[in-house]
Structure 1
Amino acid sequence: MDLGFAGAATVVVGGGRGMGFATAQCLADDGARVAIVGRSPEVLDEAAADLARRGSPDAVAVVADIGDDAAVQRVFADLAQRWGGEINALVNTVGPGAAGNFEELTDQQWQQAFDAGLMGMVRCVRAALPLLRQAEWARIVNFSAHSTQRQSTRLPAYTAAKAALTSVSKNLSLQLAPDEIMVNVVSPGSISSEALQGWAQSVGVDGNDPYALMAAIDEHFGHPAHLPRAGLPAEIGPVAAFLASKRNSYMTGANINVDGGSDFT
């Protein structure tokens, strides 16, 4: 399916690995120019080379800490110069946070969770908005988490930050509707990411086996999906890519669960 990305200018924050990389691959496959933003030069360079091989006409790796507002402003100023002052799609996928019960988390860990899970997105959207407004069409996609709807006692700070991100995204969808800039949220369920695979290994489970991974999630958290396995990053990318695309012409303010089935309301 042609998503309308041919020649479009797109940015994926956290696009060097995992679900962000899977999203960037979908954009590249459809002919978009893709900038991937992250902190690891080696990871980003390897990912950008893959995107170029897939057909991205100007795949670029951008090393930046989105915890630094000045650095974020420089990223989008440089992209504006590189791409003629406009961006069609911004995808924000980052937002790790410390795990721990409520009593265990320090003030610093709460602050870090909100800085990564909410404020990174805020900084990137704020810097990108002038470029999005200059484009013929523009979309914003932010990654939240299924834990905002099915709580885990080990993730109170991370979940609170992602709930805040979801709320801000809904507010943005209202504010930007007159500009026809669509803002949507993707809430992944249990996806076989590096972090989840690392946790699986810590409890003696093969994190590369999505069935064993889901069985471990059921055992330790009581939160199994309806499907008997964990999801894969490649199953998230196409959903985010559609929401970020020109083909998405009438969906905004939505929170899309990609979770293998659940009892979410």
Structure 2
Amino acid sequence: MDLGFSQATAVIVGGGRGMGFATARCLAEDGARVALMGRSPDVLEQAAAALVEFGSPDAVGVVVDTADVGQVEAAFAEVGERWNDGLNVLINTVGPDAVGGFEDLTDEQWLAAVDGGVMGMVRCVRAALPLLRRAEWARIVNFSAHSTQRQSEILPAYTAAKAMVNSVSKNLSLSLAKDEILVNVVSPGSIASEALVGWADSVGVDGSDPYRLMEAIDEHFGHPAHLPRAGLPEEIAPVAAFLASRRNSYMTGANVNVDGGSVFT
């Protein structure tokens, strides 16, 4: 299916690896011009080079720490100079690193979860809005998590931050409707991300096997899915790509679960 990305411009925050890169690849293969944002220059350089091979003619990596508002503003100013016609797509995939029971987490850890999981997204959307409004059409896709609908005792701060992403995104879908900027959320389930695979390896489980990985997730986190395996980043990417595309012309304010069948709402 042609998603209408030919010559479209897209920024993917956290696009250097995992679900972000898999989504970037989908856009590149459909002809989008992609800018990846993240903190690691080496990762971004390698990822951008790969996207050129996949079909993004001038893919670029932009180093930015989303905790620093000045860096975020400078990064989007650079994008604006590169693409004079504006920005069609903003995808935010970055999430917080917050694991621990309610009584174990400090105030600092709670605040870090909110800053990493919500405020980074807020800063990026705020900086991108002038570029999105300049474009002929525009979409925002924010990554949340299925844990907002299926709680875990060791993820209260992470889940609270992701619930805030849902709320802010819903509000944006309302406030930006007058500009016809569509805003949606993707909620991945248990996905074999680099971090999750690394965690599985650390507890003696072969994280590269999605079936074994799901068994470990069930044992430690209590997040089983109807399907007997963990998902893969490339299984999230097409859903995010559709929501970010011109082909999606009327869906806004939605939260789309891609979780192997654990939630039905």
TM bucket (normalised to shorter chain) is over 0.9
What is the RMSD computed on CA atoms of the aligned residues?
0.8
Q: Is the 8 A contact 1:97 1:157 kept in 2?
A: no
Q: Is the 8 A contact 1:150 1:264 kept in 2?
A: no
Superposition pairs for residues 79-98 of structure 1, below 5 Å?
Answer: 79-98=79-98
Question: Match of 1:48, as an amino acid?
Answer: A
Q: Secondary structure at the match of 1:104?
A: coil
> Counterpart of 1:104?
104
Kindly report structure 1 stretches of 4+ aligned residues shifted beyond 6 Å: none
Taking the aligned partners of 1:264 and 1:190, their CA distance within structure 2 comes to: 15
> Counterpart of 1:186?
186
Taking the aligned partners of 1:264 and 1:147, their CA distance within structure 2 comes to: 13
> Counterpart of 1:254?
254
Q: Describe the superposition over 1:57-111 as per-residue Cα deviations: whole angstroms up to 9, x where unpaired.
A: 2100000101101110001111111110500000000012221001111111111
Question: Match of 1:255, as an amino acid?
Answer: N
Taking the aligned partners of 2:74 and 2:254, their CA distance within structure 1 comes to: 30
> Counterpart of 2:51?
51
Seen in structure 2, the aligned counterparts of structure 1 residues 245 and 49 have a Cα distance that, compared at 3 Å, is same
* 1:223 CA displacement: 2.1
Q: Describe the superposition over 1:143-195 as per-residue Cα deviations: whole angstroms up to 9, x where unpaired.
A: 00111000011111111011001000000000011111000000000000011
Q: Is the 8 A contact 1:7 1:57 kept in 2?
A: no
Taking the aligned partners of 1:81 and 1:201, their CA distance within structure 2 comes to: 43
> Counterpart of 2:168?
168
> Counterpart of 1:136?
136
Q: Describe the superposition over 1:12-33 as per-residue Cα deviations: whole angstroms up to 9, x where unpaired.
A: 0000000000000001000000
Taking the aligned partners of 1:70 and 1:232, their CA distance within structure 2 comes to: 34
Question: Match of 1:191, as an amino acid?
Answer: I
Q: Is the 8 A contact 2:96 2:114 kept in 1?
A: no
Indicate the larger mover: 167-176 or 97-106. Answer: 97-106
Q: Secondary structure at the match of 1:230?
A: coil
Taking the aligned partners of 1:251 and 1:141, their CA distance within structure 2 comes to: 11
1:127 is the counterpart of 2:127: yes
Q: Describe the superposition over 1:200-239 as per-residue Cα deviations: whole angstroms up to 9, x where unpaired.
A: 1122110000000111112223321000100000001111
> Counterpart of 1:211?
211
> Counterpart of 1:156?
156
Question: Match of 1:234, as an amino acid?
Answer: E
Taking the aligned partners of 1:175 and 1:195, their CA distance within structure 2 comes to: 34
Percent identity between matched residues is 75
Q: Secondary structure at the match of 1:102?
A: coil
1:72 is the counterpart of 2:72: yes
Q: Secondary structure at the match of 1:23?
A: helix
Q: Is the 8 A contact 1:98 1:155 kept in 2?
A: yes
> Counterpart of 2:220?
220
Taking the aligned partners of 1:64 and 1:179, their CA distance within structure 2 comes to: 27
TM-score by length of 1: 0.98
Q: Is the 8 A contact 1:143 1:185 kept in 2?
A: yes
Q: Secondary structure at the match of 1:81?
A: helix
1:33 is the counterpart of 2:33: yes
Seen in structure 2, the aligned counterparts of structure 1 residues 264 and 105 have a Cα distance that, compared at 3 Å, is farther
Q: Work out the number of aligned pairs and report it.
A: 265
Q: Secondary structure at the match of 2:176?
A: helix
